[in-house]
Structures are given as structure tokens and as C-alpha cells.
A and B are shown apart, each in its own frame.
Chain A
Amino acid sequence: MTVLATPDKTGSDFPLGFATILDPSPLQYLDEHGALSGVLRDDAPELAPERLLGTYRAMVVGRRFDVQATTMVRQGRLAVYPSSYGQEACEIGAMLALRPTDWFFPTYRDCVSMVTRGIDPVQTLTLLRGDWHCGYDPRRWRTAPQCTPLATQAPHAAGLAHAARLAGDDTVALAFCGDGGTSEGDFHEALNFAAVYQAPAIFFVQNNQYAISVPLAKQTHAAALAHKAVGYGMAGVRVDGNDVIAVQHVVAEAATRARAGDGPTLIEAVTYRMQAHTNADDATRYRNASEVEYWKSRDPLARLETCLKACGLLTDAVVAEANQAAEALADDMRARLGEEPEVDHRDLFRHVYAEPTPQLREQAAALQAELDADLDAAEHDEAGVEAAGRGLDASGADGAALGAVEAEAGR
């Protein structure tokens, strides 16, 4: 049994001894040298050859996406990009264990997951390019908008899971958050609500060791974040977050438990943020190179490659096809994200409410008039007309505006 702590149904005790519950060593099936531990049965779905190859391909493509996005920030084509380089086992493993009907609640660092779910890379990056907040249809992809305020998406997952259960559906909701997010009150409230309701939710913490510059030791005094599950009376598991086979396995187990009505699970995946927090951050100010080197040697993609080579699955054709898919994605990103996006000022007022309020209609009309006036002035300039009248004194302009507002209200 991989579960760290599952409350006994009688509520009297835990099936595992207290010492076992507190053993923080992460579950691992694929070790840092790429060797399979042999604990999983050969017929485990994660070990099926086509599944392994699909996982490999998704990892290659996901990493290429991440590298390309980082490059595009440097080129000024994205405003910002929080990289998940090195966290692909979490980003991709968790997604491959979900059904398309399940809901996913990502954070700003989870673009690779979203692309793995099938969301268009350009729509995925709309937020980070700055042309709109959420570029995809959350209902179609069963993926909430990427969440920036930490852990605030976790109660949404609890609520959605509870709703799905009330509706009699077997939908599961999975929320990602980081190690820093576990310090937020909303994280606690989400786990508590989900446990009380026995909601089919999975809270997946990517413990990448840093919240911007603050290391885990300053985030918690607990030996493991997964231990928090005990306090909520829910299942908890600590997994090697760079082992894509183990991640898939624990998420699949948690989903099965959730669908069976056995409640939520807290998963702590131990991984590492290889890049700085974002391009605007300088990680050399708070961590040393040897630490990064250590985690480089535990790279999730290299580990899977070694394993697949050893099994004889990783043929040249497989590698070539995966690389080709990755390069096609990068080419597409360069082409489409290289174009300047068209933005429409009228979007400012759309979708604030189902129907705009009278106040919003008034403001939209005022902005439109302002832009039309600018356009007229530009046309005059082009025609070579001296723009003498443009120095309209401020009081005159204000007076005109006030008159317009009064006239508007007087109708």
C-alpha cells in the first residue's frame, strides 16, 4: 500500500503505525538512475509499453514547450513565464492519470500541464502574453483559469468536487499548488472542507523547495507536507516528484478512491524548481550551484529515457518522432506568438456582468469618444492641418465633459 495515512473507517485508529505514518521517505518506482524498483506489478497500467511511450513523448514535448516559452520571454514576446523545467513528472504524470471529464485547477506555473491536457499553446500563454487573463474555454477543457493568488483555487476544487458528487457524477477535481501555497489559509480550509464532505478531490502539492526565494525550511516545521493529511483525516502520500511512473500511479489511486466515494487525497510530490521563480528573479541570490547540480542529476526526463532504453523501448524512431513533435510545437509557438496579438478596447467592458450596467455603458461610450477624437486628430495631422485647436484648455474640456454627463443623465 502506497498510502501514507488512510483513516480507519471505524475512526478508531490508523491502519499504519504512527512511526510509519511519519516516515517521510517519498514513494519511488523509478530511481534516480532510471532503474525500476520492481514494486509495481508488471500489469500496472503505468508500465504498459504504449503508456510509457506516450508518457515519454509528452515529457519531451512538454519540456520543449517550457524552453520555448522561456526563450520567448527573453525575446520580449511574453511578459513573464514561470518555468516548470524539471517538474515535468508532476506536470505531465498527474494529467495522464486524469480523465478528460475530470476538472483541473492549475496555478501560473502549470502551463505544461495545460498543454498536456490538449489546450492550444497560444491560448495557454494568453495570460502571460498579457492580451487576456484566460485564453481558453475552461468548460471545454475542464480546466479552471490559472490561479495567481496562492492556494485560492483549492477551495474551488473542493466545491466543484462536492457539486459533482451531489450531481451523481464520477468527476474528480485535482488542484495543484506549491510548497509555499500550503502555508495559506485557503489551503487548510479547502482540505478541511473536502474531507468533511468526502469530496472527490485531489490536492497535489508540487514541493519544489522554494517559494520565490524562501526555502521549505522557512515554510513549515513539519517533516513532510503530506503529514498534514493526518490532521484532516484524509489519505496522504509523499511521492518522488521526479518519478513520472510513481506520480501517475499515486494520482490514479487517489482518483479511484475519490470515484469510489472514499474522499480526498493529499499528494506531496518532492521535486525541484530548476529555474528561477520567473525571468524577473535571480536565483543565485538565495541558492548555490551545487544544489542545482544535485537536482539536475535527478532529472525526470533523463531518468525515464534511461529506463526506456534499458527496456529496449526507446528506439531511434521513437526519439525522432518525439523530437519532431516537440520541434513542430516550438515552430508553431514561434510563428503564432511572434505575431502581435490584436486587442480590442471594447473587451474592457464586455463580460464584467451578463448585461453591462448603465455606468459601464456610459464609460464605454466615453472611451470610444476619446479614441474617435484621437483618430480624427490623427487624420487632421496627416492632412497637414495645423493642430492649433488641440491645445484646448483643460477647463474648457472639463466643462464640455460635464455638460455631456449632465445631458446623458438628463435624457
Chain B
Amino acid sequence: MTATLDSAHRAAQNAEISLAQAVNRALRDAMTADDKVVVFGEDVGVLGGVFRVTDGLTRDFGEQRCFDTPLAEAGIMGTAIGMAMYGFRPVVEMQFDAFSYPAFEQIASHLAKMRNRTRGTLPLPVVVRVPYGGGIGGVEHHSDSSEGYFVSTPGLHVVTPATVSDAYTLLRAAIESDDPVIFMEPKRLYWSKDVLSTTGPEIGRAVVRRQGSDATLIAYGPTVSTALETAEAARDEGYDLEVVDLRSIVPFDDETVCASVRKTGRAVVIHEAAGFGGTGAEIAARVSERCFHWLEAPVRRVTGFDIPYPPPKLERHHLPSVDRILDAVASLQWEDR
């Protein structure tokens, strides 16, 4: 390689790309590595998806590898299952969180159960990409956080990246997994940019994004950046907060989460989905069961309210904010310290 090319290559490697582009690159690299990987869904072909995540895939890999489907989510999911039964590795897109619901029966009754029903003879290596969450001013049915439905369905892995590099590495791992993976993409982070690293921890490992000693903020997907912002703001108020990015809700990394909470003695769980019966309830319960004797205060949750997702002009009141997380941190029985 000539020096010029080498430096150009390095410059390309150091260039920042968006999270949407990282997903696109993961799809490309997976399709290049394995010709059984196929991508399909609504508008993913010529248009490149409504968020342009599949941009150029049909052009570069042909219509047999990346194709538009009829507008029917159960049909997309059901045909993906059939293709996986024949040895393909489908990656399907549910255009928006709330539009994945018609596919739920296929996901719950077949995708999640097929390996188990058939004693391992029919694994289904299918990835379901779900752009999720609010904060983009979407009108109704475009901002749901639907992870709870999938998390409480045994047989599925549920992962969600919060960084550009995780969007790439977790998706590559999801496509290589022989289990079905629900890949939740925080849509308000699609345009966030960073330099891509193509290596990272495996599915099932949480990562400590910020070290701290006073309390642990446990977050995933879109709320990780909010948690990090909160930690910066909390410094001014005298709190040194640790931030754990789950990356994978199923499997859940008890080890990393518990190690952090045992170190700090306090925990706040954050997500956009409604709190009642939500993922945060499970996390709070797990932490309480495992870290009870280390806890200085009850585990708090900061979540969306128990309401249907609000209209765009009201969503700022609904989404977990820095202020609300700070209030939760302030309530963690510091008077005993």
C-alpha cells in the first residue's frame, strides 16, 4: 500500500460516522461475509429505509439479498422464520417500534420457541431490527419503547446499542448468533456521530461508561446519553455517579451491574418505557435480591409515565430528563452518609 493510500485509509478509519451508518456498515459487512444473510422489510430496498439505514444495499447486493416486502409485519416475520428454517439468516426491519405489534404473535409463538419446541433441531438465526423510543417529535405510534414485550418472552435475546461502535459490533454479533435477536435501535441516536471501533464486548456484557463512587445509574439505549449528562451535572452537586450501559437486556449482566451497585451502594434505573411492570422493575428487583446488604437506599426508577406515548409537544415531560434523574439521585437517603 502506498503512503498516500495508507494515510487515506487511516483518515477514513478515524472519520466519525453516524449510528445509522454504523448499522448500515454492519449489515454490509455481514452480507459480504455470509451470502445467507438477507435483509428485508418495508421500504428497505431502493429507498434505503425511512431512516436510510439500508441505504445502497439493494444496489450493491441485488434484489435477492435486500428486498422490499408487502406492507405486513406478521408476514415479514413469518416469512423470515420460513427462510431461516431453510438455512438463511434473515435480518428484518420493523419500520417503527409500534408497527412491530402485528408481528408479535409470530415472534412470541414461533420465533422465540422454535428451538425449544424442536429440541434444538430448528434454531432460528433471525435478527429483528426495531427502531424505538421517542424524542424525535414523532406523531403517535412512532415513539414507543416496546422492549418490555420482548424482554418478557423467553427464547429471545434483546440487545440495544447506545454508541456508534456498539451499533456495529452488537449487530454483527446478533447476525452471527444462532438465536433470534431483537435488535432495538434508539432512533433519536441515529444521527449521533463517533469514530467506529469494530470490536467490542459480546452480547450479554454490560459496560461501565463512567466510573463513579456514590451511586450507579443503570441505563440502556437512548437513556445512556441522558445518564452520562446527568453524571456530569451531578458533579456540580457533589455526587460522583457511575453509569452502566446494559447493551443487552437479555441475557442480563448481573455480574457487572451488581459489582457496580455493591461498590456504590445506591442505584437508579432509567428507561423511556412505562415504569409499571417494565424492564426497570425487573432490574430493581434483581439488584435488591442480590445486593440487599450493600444498599444504602431503595433502588429508584426513572421511567416514562404509565401513559400512552404523548404527542410531540408534550414528550419532554414524559421522557426521563437530567433533572428528574438528579431528583431521584438526591432522594437516595444521603443523610445517613
The chain A residues found within 8 Å of chain B, CB to CB, are 103, 132-134, 137-139, 144-145, 149, 152, 154-164, 166-167, 171, 173, 185-186, 189-190, 192-193, 196, 347, 350-354, 357-359, 402, 405-406, 409-410
- Among B239-260, those with CB < 8 Å from A are 250-252, 254-255, 258
Question: Given contacts A190-B75, A354-B177, A359-B252, is CB(A156)–CB(B82) below 8 Å?
Answer: yes
Asked if B106 is at the interface (CB within 8 A of a chain A CB), the reply is yes
6 contacts between A and B (CB under 8 A): A144-B122, A159-B86, A166-B64, A192-B75, A196-B69, A351-B115
CA of A157 to CA of B262 in the docked complex: distance in angstroms?
51
* Chain B residue, CB-CB nearest to A351: B120
- 8 Å CB interface, B21-79 against A: 38, 64, 69-70, 72, 74-75, 77-79
Contact between chains at B122 and A193 (CB < 8 Å)? no
Chain B residues with Cβ under 8 A from A173's Cβ?
82
Binding site for A on B (CB under 8 A): 38, 64, 69-70, 72, 74-75, 77-88, 102, 105-106, 109-110, 113-123, 154-155, 157, 177-179, 204, 250-252, 254-255, 258, 262, 289-293
* CB neighbours of A157 from chain B (8 A): 82
Contacts of B75 in A (CB 8 A): 155, 158, 186, 189-190, 192-193
Select from chain A the residue with minimum beta-carbon distance to B121.
A137
A185 partner residues in chain B, CB cutoff 8 A: 74, 102
Q: Is the interface of A mostly helix, strand, loop or mixed?
A: helix
Contacts A162-B83, A353-B155, A354-B177; is A156 near B115 (CB within 8 Å)?
no
For residue B128, give the distance in angstroms from its CB to the closest CB of chain A: 14
Whether A152 pairs with B290 at a CB distance below 8 angstroms is: no
Inter-subunit contact B118/A353 (CB<8 Å): no
Q: Which residues of A contact B110 (CB under 8 A)?
A: 149, 152, 156
B122 touching A155 by the CB < 8 A rule? no
- CB-contact partner of A405 in B86, B119, B289, under 8 A: B289
**Given A166-B64, A354-B123: A155 and B178 within 8 A (CB)?**
no
Q: How far, in whole Å, are A351 and B117 apart by their CA atoms in the complex?
A: 8
A105 to chain B, nearest CB (A): 9
A149 contact set on B, CB distance < 8 A? 105, 109-110
Is there contact, CB below 8 Å, between A352 and B155? yes
Q: Give every chain B residue within 8 A of A103 (Cβ-Cβ).
A: 85-86
Contact B154 A152 (CB under 8 A): no
Q: Which residues of A contact B86 (CB under 8 A)?
A: 103, 159-160, 163-164, 167, 171
Chain B residues with Cβ under 8 A from A156's Cβ? Answer: 78-79, 81-82, 85, 110
B74 and A162 within 8 A (CB): no
Contacts of A166 in B (CB 8 A): 38, 64, 88
Q: If the complex has contacts A138-B118, A352-B116, A357-B250, are A144 and B85 also in contact, measured as CB distance less than 8 A?
A: yes
Complex Cα spacing A164 to B64, Å: 12
What's the Cα separation between A410 and B161 when bound, in Å?
27
Which residues from chain B contact A159 at a C-beta distance below 8 Å? 78-86
Residue of A nearest to B252 (CB): A359
Contact A145-B114, Cβ < 8 Å, known A405-B289, A406-B292, A409-B290: yes
Complex CA distance for A347 and B116, rounded to whole angstroms? 9
| Chain B residues within 8 Å of A132, by CB | 119
Q: Which residue of chain A lies nearest to B109 when distances are taken between CB atoms in the complex?
A: A149
Q: Is the CB of A409 within 8 A of B78?
A: no
Known interface pairs A185-B102, A189-B72, A359-B252. Does A163 touch B82 (Cβ–Cβ under 8 Å)? yes
List the A residue with the shortest CB-CB distance to B68.
A196
Could you tell me the distance between the alpha carbons of A186 and B314 in the complex, rounded to whole angstroms? 36
Known contacts A152-B109, A190-B78, A353-B179, A406 near B293 by CB under 8 Å: yes
Which residues of A lie under 8 Å from residue B78 when comparing CB positions?
152, 154-156, 158-159, 186, 189-190, 193
Judging by beta carbons under 8 Å apart, are A162 and B292 in contact? no
A152 to B112, CA, bound (A): 14
Taking the closest CB of chain A, its distance from the CB of B245, in whole angstroms, is 18
Chain A contacts for B291, CB-based, 8 A:
406, 409
CB distance from A353 to the nearest CB of B (A): 5
> In the complex, which of the residues A137, A144, A149, A171 has the most CB atoms of chain B within 10 Å of its own CB atom?
A144
Contacts of B70 in A (CB 8 A): 189, 192-193, 196
Contact between B157 and A353, CB atoms less than 8 A apart? yes
B83 close to A160 (CB less than 8 A): yes
Q: Residues of A contacting B177 with CB < 8 Å? A: 354
CB nearest neighbor in A for B114: A145
Return the chain B residue nearest A166 by Cβ. Answer: B64
Cα distance, A132 to B292, chains bound together (Å): 39
